[in-house]
Amino acid sequence: MPKDNEHIKQRIAETLEMPKDVVMDFPKATIIGNIQVNIENHNGIIEYSDKTIRINTSIGVFKIEGNKMSIKYITLEEVVIVGIIYKVEILD
């Protein structure tokens, strides 16, 4: 449910060909093989265990399921999860 000004932002980003995650404050997830997930622009951790990790973002919750997962490092901008990744899910 994008608001009006978000709609405008998206239009601008499209016309100027700017990266959407920068303009729209969207999260950006990078999955490397099945061993690492990087999520930029997150809003904190909701759940953290070695089987399930849930991360809050501006568009919803990223739920990552896997085995022997751990957080390689975490800063305000980025969280890097390593382990064996089975599933990355976006929940509204």
Partner 1 sequence: MGIQELIKYLKGYLILRIEGLNLEKFINISIANGINFWDMKRLSMTAIELNVDLAGYRALKEMLRKTNSRAYVISKKGLPFLFSKLKRRSMLVIGFVIFILLIFVLSSFIWSINIKGANNVSSKEIRQSLSEFGIKPGTFKLNIPVIDIENNMLIKVKEISWIKITLKGTRATVEVKERVDPPKILPEDIPCNIVARRDGIIYKIVSMKGDEVVKEGEPVRKGQILVSGVIERPETEIRYVHSLADIEAKTWYEEKVVIPIKTMKRVRTGKKESKIYINLNDKTLLIKNTDVHYKIYDKIKRSLKLIETDKFELPIEIVIEDYFEINEVESLLDNEEAKSLALEEIEKQILSNMAYDARIINKRIDYVVKEDCVIASALYETMEDIGVPQEIN
Of 20 and 67, the one with the shorter C-beta distance to partner 1 is: 67
Question: Is there binding between residue 76 and partner 1 (CB under 8 A)?
Answer: yes
Taking the C-alpha atoms of residue 91 and residue 57, their distance in angstroms, rounded to an integer, is 10
Cβ distance 71 to 81 under 8 Å? yes
Q: Which of 13, 21, 48, 63 forms a contact with partner 1 (CB under 8 A)?
A: 48
Q: Is there a contact between 70 and 82 (Cβ–Cβ < 8 Å)?
A: yes
Counting contacts by CB under 8 A, is residue 47 touching partner 1?
yes
Site size for partner 1 (CB under 8 A): 14
Binding footprint of partner 1 on the chain (CB under 8 A)? 44-50, 70-76
